[in-house]
Structures are given as structure tokens and as C-alpha cells.
Copies of this chain bind each other. A is one copy, B any other.
Amino acid sequence: MMAEEKNQAYPKQRIMDAAVRLFAKKGFSATGVRELASEADLNIAMINYYYGSKQKILEDIIDRFFRGHMAMIGDGLKTPGGIEDKIRAADRAVLKYFRENEELAIVALTEFPYDVPEIAGYKARYISELLRIGREHLIPLLAGRLNVPPRMEILGPIMISAVISHFIFKPVIEKATDIELTDQFYKELGEIISSFTLYGLIGKP
């Protein structure tokens, strides 16, 4: 059943899906191309044909994640209303996106493989763009109310981490507490992240 489903997808998509699963589970460095081929149910020649190298697959994962991530943030900030509505909409959209693409988000955000140092530079183009969006579209909305210096290179990572934190800590939080990861939990998580971010930014009036 699983194999059938996999085989119906296009080969490039199957390689991408297999890579996201394996990089999230084992890390980029510990995943071999042979293993990737086996997980994707393809031969190694096909992986070479579509990607050429493991590094190119990771770059494709990063492209895909950040394009989606930026689209969610952009839509959120375009929401009509005040800053509170915009931040709540953006956090809701980003959280939904992370929940639906959990392994993609973890790999794209936290994987800095030692054997491919250029990956930090590859991600930097997206982070630069996110910082620019923050400086141009978020900071001006907060003008006069911002409780902290408008340093996006500090605030950006804090805001992204507020959303990813749940997914990074999930395996251990599930063991340490009796929470159930229901839709209701994620609704409350989204509200808490938004409140925390919003009041973290604008503080006391």
C-alpha cells in the first residue's frame, strides 16, 4: 500500500520525500545515497539523474521549505486589520505549515551539515529575505510601540524559534508530560505563540 502510493508519485518527488524522512530521522551526514535510493524505491542512477548529489537534494528541501514559509508570513502580514490581527494570522499560518510539513521544517531550519559548509550560505539568501520582510513590513507597523530595539537579526530568530520550539521539543515533551497533540492543543499553542510574540515585541503600552 505504502509502496504503491510511493510509486505513483513522480521520481523527483519520491526522492525529495525519502530525503526529508531520512535527513529528519538520521541527519544529512549519516544518510547514504544508496539508502536514499532504497527508501525512494528507485535506483542510484535516477538520483544522480535528477539531483547529481545529496547536497542538491538538501538545497531543494531548503528552497521548498522557505518558499512556503515566506508565503505564509507574507499572507499573514497582508491580513486586514492591526498588528495584532496580522501577527496572529501569520503565526497561525506558519504553525499550520510547520505541522503539515514537520520533517521538512526541522531539516530546513536545523540541519547545518559539517560536510557541506556552503549550506549556511545557501540558507542565508532566504534569511536575508525574511529579515528584509521584517524590516519593511513588520517594524514600521510597530513604530512607537516596540519595546525592544528593532534588531531583526535578533528578533527574527526568536520569532521563528517560538514556532519551531514545539517541534524540536516534541519527542521529549511527549515523554515528560501527558499532553495529547490534538487539534485543540495546536489551536491553543498558536494562540500562546502569538500572544507571546505580540506582547514580547510591543510590551507594555
Chain A residues within 8 Å of B, Cβ to Cβ: 25-30, 109-110, 112-115, 120-121, 123-125, 127-128, 131, 147-149, 151, 153-158, 160-162, 164-166, 168-169, 171-177, 179, 188-189, 191-193, 195-197, 199-205
**A interface: dominant SS:** helix
Give the Cβ gap from A175 to chain B, nearest Cβ, in Å: 4
Contact of A158 among B114, B165, B205 (CB under 8 A): B165
How far apart are the CA atoms of A157 and B196 in the complex, in Å?
12
CB<8 Å pairs between A and B, sample of 8: A26-B29, A26-B113, A127-B176, A128-B176, A158-B162, A196-B200, A199-B199, A199-B201
The 7 residue pairs across chains A and B that have the minimum distance between CB atoms: A161-B165, A200-B200, A124-B175, A199-B203, A29-B30, A196-B200, A27-B27
